[in-house]
Amino acid sequence: MHRAKARERGKPKVSGAALRDEGKQTEEQAERHCGIKGSINYGRNGVKTRIIGTGSCLPGTVVTNDDLSKVMDTSDEWISSRTGIRERHLVKEETTASMSVEAAKRAMKDAGVTAEEIDLIILGTVSADFVTPACACEVQAAIGATNAVAFDINAACAGFMFALNIANAYIQAGIYRTALILGAETLSKIVDWEDRSTCVLFGDGAGAAVVRGDEQYGLLAFDQGSDGTKGDVLACPGRTNNNPLIQTDQRLGFVHMDGQEVYKFAVTTVPASLQKTIETAGLMPKDIDYFALHQANIRILQSVSKRLHIGEDKFPISLDHCGNISAASVPILLDEMNRKGLLKPGMKVALSGFGGGLTWASAVLEW
Q: How far apart are CA 234 and CA 257, in angstroms?
A: 4
Dump pLDDT digits (tens) for 246-255: 888 777 788 8
The ranges assigned to domains in the chain are 16-44+218-366, 49-214
Task: Please give the backbone phi and psi of residue 221, each rounded to the nearest 5 degrees, phi first.
Answer: -160, 155
**Of 3.40.47.10, 3.40.1190.20, 3.30.365.10, 1.10.357.10, which CATH number belongs to 49-214?**
3.40.47.10
β-bridge partners, 248: none
pLDDT at 269: 93
pLDDT at 320: 95
Asked if the bond preceding 133 is cis, omega within 30° of 0, the reply is yes
Candidate list 65, 165, 297, 324, residue with the active-site label: 324
Q: How far apart are CA 360 and CA 348, in angstroms?
A: 20
Yes or no: say if 118 and 144 are a contact pair by the CB < 8 Å rule.
no
Q: How far apart are CA 230 and CA 225, in angstroms?
A: 13
What does the pLDDT average to over 257-281? 90
Q: How far apart are CA 198 and CA 103, in angstroms?
A: 26
* 225-217-343 Cα angle (round to 5): 85
Asked if the model's pLDDT at residue 24 lies above 50, the reply is no
Q: How far apart are CA 86 and CA 64, in angstroms?
A: 6
pLDDT at 228: 84
Dump pLDDT digits (tens) for 151-201: 999 989 999 999 999 999 999 999 999 999 999 999 999 898 988 888 999
* Number of helices followed by number of strands (H, E) in the chain: 12, 14
Dump pLDDT digits (tens) for 292-318: 999 999 999 999 999 999 999 999 999
What does the pLDDT average to over 201-211? 97
Q: Of 208, 206, 207, 203, nearest to 187 (Cα)?
A: 203
Looking at residue 107, its amino acid is A
Candidate list 137, 157, 199, 236, residue with the active-site label: 157
Looking at residue 3, its amino acid is R
Helix (H, G, I), strand (E, B) or coil at 196: helix
Q: Clarify whether 157 is annotated catalytic.
A: yes
Asked if the model's pLDDT at residue 3 lies above 60, the reply is no
Distance of CA 98 to the CA centre of its chain: 19
Q: Of 122, 137, 55, nearest to 331 (Cα)?
A: 55
Q: Clarify whether 324 is annotated catalytic.
A: yes
Q: Clarify whether 33 is annotated catalytic.
A: no
| Biggest alpha carbon–alpha carbon distance for the chain | 68
Q: How far apart are CA 182 and CA 159, in angstroms?
A: 8
- Looking at every residue in the chain, the average pLDDT score rounds to 88
**Of 3.20.80.10, 3.40.30.10, 3.40.47.10, 3.10.450.100, which CATH number belongs to 16-44+218-366?**
3.40.47.10
pLDDT at 27: 39
Yes or no: say if 126 and 158 are a contact pair by the CB < 8 Å rule.
no
Spatial CB neighbours of 144, under 8 Å, sequence gap ≥ 6: 115, 116
Q: How far apart are CA 254 and CA 195, in angstroms?
A: 10
Asked if the model's pLDDT at residue 22 lies above 50, the reply is no
Dump pLDDT digits (tens) for 27-68: 344 444 444 445 666 655 678 999 999 999 999 999 999 999
pLDDT at 337: 97
DSSP secondary structure letter of residue 187:
G
Q: How far apart are CA 220 and CA 280, in angstroms?
A: 8
DSSP secondary structure letter of residue 40:
E
Phi-psi region of 220 (alpha: psi -120 to 50; beta: other; left: phi over 0): alpha
Least confident of 46-55, 96-105, 258-267, 284-293: 258-267
β-bridge partners, 362: 223, 352
Candidate list 33, 34, 294, 338, residue with the active-site label: 294
Q: How far apart are CA 205 and CA 55, in angstroms?
A: 11
The answer to whether 16-44+218-366 and 49-214 have equal CATH topology is: yes
Burial letters for 135-154: b for 16+ Cβ neighbours within 10 Å, e otherwise? bbbbbbebbebeebbbbbbe
